[in-house]
Chains A and B, each alone.
Chain A
Amino acid sequence: QKEVEQNSGPLSVPEGAIASLNCTYSDRGSQSFFWYRQYSGKSPELIMFIYSNGDKEDGRFTAQLNKASQYVSLLIRDSQPSDSATYLCAVLPMNSGGYQKVTFGIGTKLQVIP
């Protein structure tokens, strides 16, 4: 079982719609959860992190965490063509040794269709 699982996509949504990106993880004791965006040919950049159950909103982005279900998601409201990228879920496991050694999922490729 992979430690962090994501559907590789591509996920296609029309411009203006809500894009929902999902991630599951295997380590029940995982502490923190991060969403990165990676444009083609570029390095990953942090969108937001979440560590408590529930929702966390930042502009058009909402991260949702459900530790009981070991599930974290990212919602993008009013999707724009500029949101087209690969979205990487990263999880900090309980046994990271304090070294911030997150585990990355394979990423979901999002395509926003104008």
Chain B
Amino acid sequence: SAVISQKPSRDICQRGTSLTIQCQVDSQVTMMFWYRQQPGQSLTLIATANQGSEATYESGFVIDKFPISRPNLTFSTLTVSNMSPEDSSIYLCSVVFGTSSTDTQYFGPGTRLTVL
């Protein structure tokens, strides 16, 4: 399986600031996703990162708050903008390598964000 890395692994930020999280895969992937996992909660999909075009956001998430880039098939960034303590969470990127309904998602190690 491929190696998925995320930077930073964790950060503590002040409210009102922004943080950009990077996701790098060592091989080309079909799909890249960004999730949020708040304490005691399951995974919530933020958006699908589309290569060369605007991301597709899920209900409740907007581009101004979570701008996403995906310049190529192995790299994506998620920015958490104008942060508040409610944004404290683990942010995970995930990738899919195929297009079949049985192709699975593989997750990066996550970025643990604390907003003060």
Contact = CB atoms under 8 A, between A and B. Distances in A.
Contacts of B108: 43
Contacts of B59: none
Contact of B42 (A43, A49, A99, A104): A104
Given A31-B101, A44-B43, A88-B43, A101 B106 contact: no
Residue in B96, B104, B107, B109 whose Cβ sees the most chain A Cβ within 10 Å: B104
Q: Interface residue tally of chain B, by bracket?
A: 20 to 34
B77 interface: no
Given A34-B104, A46-B104, A99 B48 contact: yes
B74 to A, nearest CB: 17
A98 interface: yes
Interface residues of A, number: 22
Interface in A74-103: 88, 90, 92, 98-102
A102 B105 CA distance: 9
A51 interface: yes
B28 to A, nearest CB: 16
A98 B99 contact: yes
Contacts of A102: 105
Residue in B33, B42, B102, B106 whose Cβ sees the most chain A Cβ within 10 Å: B42
Interface of A: 31-32, 34, 42-46, 49, 51, 88, 90, 92, 98-102, 104-107
Interface of B: 31, 33, 41-43, 45, 48, 56, 92, 96, 99, 101-110
23 contacts: A32-B101, A32-B102, A34-B104, A34-B105, A42-B109, A43-B92, A43-B108, A43-B110, A44-B107, A45-B107, A46-B104, A46-B105, A46-B106, A49-B102, A88-B43, A90-B105, A98-B99, A99-B31, A100-B96, A100-B101, A102-B105, A104-B43, A106-B41
